A = this chain, B = another copy of it.
Amino acid sequence: MTNKGQVLWWNNMLSEKLKQLRESNGLVQRQVAALLEVDTAYISKIENNEKPVSRIHLEKLSKLFNVGSEELLTLWLADKIFDLIKNEEFAAEAFKIAEERILKDKKN
């Protein structure tokens, strides 16, 4: 309802996590921006799901916030998966198929 009517895309759970981490670490966007050597507007967009987060940035952020990079990486990937299938009618079925194939490939 209060939604913009526009297509939101990217990282969603990740961006929320990043914002939460920043705040719980008592940092302001300016400080995070300094670490990544970018504009604060860029950080804002990342936290508001308007720009993707690169893996390079993700690494740096995981160090800054002192969380395991695998945690962020997992959210990053989950968001990408979600983004891929969110508008798809046959997502559930496709999910199952892809999952099976992943498992099969794992025991190569």
Which A positions have Cβ atoms within 8 angstroms of B?
Answer: 13, 70, 73-75, 77-82, 84-86, 88-95, 97-99, 101-102, 105
Residues of A contacting B: mostly: helix
B77 touches A102 (CB 8 A): no
Residues A78 and B102 in contact in the complex (CB < 8 Å), given A73-B89, A89-B73: no
Q: Is the CB of B70 within 8 A of A85?
A: no
Instruction: List the B side residues contacting A91 at CB < 8 Å.
Output: 77, 102
A85 contact set on B, CB distance < 8 A: 77, 81, 98, 102
Q: Among the listed B75, B82, B90, B101, which residue makes an inter-chain contact with A73, where contact means beta carbons less than 8 Å apart?
A: B90
Contact at A78–B92, with CB atoms within 8 Å? no
Contacts of A70 on B, CB cut-off 8 Å?
89-90
Cβ distance A96 to chain B, nearest Cβ, rounded Å: 8
Report the separation of the CA atoms of residues A79 and B85 in the bound assembly, to the nearest whole angstrom. Answer: 12
